[in-house]
Amino acid sequence: MRSEELRALQAPLKAEYRREPRSAVVTLSAEGRVEERGIACAVSTDQGVTVAGLHPATGGDGTLACSGDMLLEALVACAGVTLRAVATALDYPVAGCVVRAEGDLDFRGTLGVDKEAPVGFGEVRLSFEIEGDLSPEQRAKLVELTERYCVVAQSLRAPVPFVVSPA
């Protein structure tokens, strides 16, 4: 896609969101089902069902998706799409890009082995191997804007209010 095509696609949306800011707020959702057998949750996605289970470090056999991996995969997907959109908007010649996310988990926390050990990622690292004829300044700007506009990255950086309710 060329920058003019992207601008043409987004122009009416941006105009609508400026005119009616509330129309820009969209509720996304996800749903999964926990069954009686096994320790797993079947998560419905637009691409089918993904069954998540225990990571091998918590007793899983590695045959099911790990929700921690899925979080990193969501970050990679969002950052990759955002990077491509930014590169397109700026007309930067990006031939491709490998996006990587890594995160450190101390499984003592989630297993309740050590009450002082955190539950969740201690650190998440995101990196880009950008392919294309870009100057160092363009590469830096591309990564800066990708980080700024990546929904998942920003949600991890400044956690949002989190409400849990039993149904």
- Please give the Cα distance from 141 to 77 (Å, whole number): 19
> What are the structural domains, with CATH classification, of the chain?
31-65 (no CATH), 66-158 (3.30.300.20)
Residue 48 CA to chain centroid, in angstroms? Answer: 18
**pTM higher than the cut 0.85:** yes
Residue whose token pair is 């297993």:
111
Query: Which among 132, 123, 133, 142 is positioned nearest to 68, based on CA atoms?
Result: 123
Q: Is residue 72 within 8 Å of 101, Cβ to Cβ?
A: yes
Query: Which among 91, 100, 82 is positioned nearest to 134, based on CA atoms?
Result: 91
Residue pLDDT tens, the chain, 167 long? 899 999 999 999 999 999 999 999 999 999 999 988 789 999 999 899 999 999 999 999 999 999 999 999 999 999 999 999 999 999 999 999 999 999 999 999 999 999 999 999 999 999 999 999 999 999 999 999 999 999 999 999 998 898 999 87
- Please give the Cα distance from 138 to 79 (Å, whole number): 17
What pLDDT sits at residue 159? 81
Q: Which amino acid is at 80?
A: G
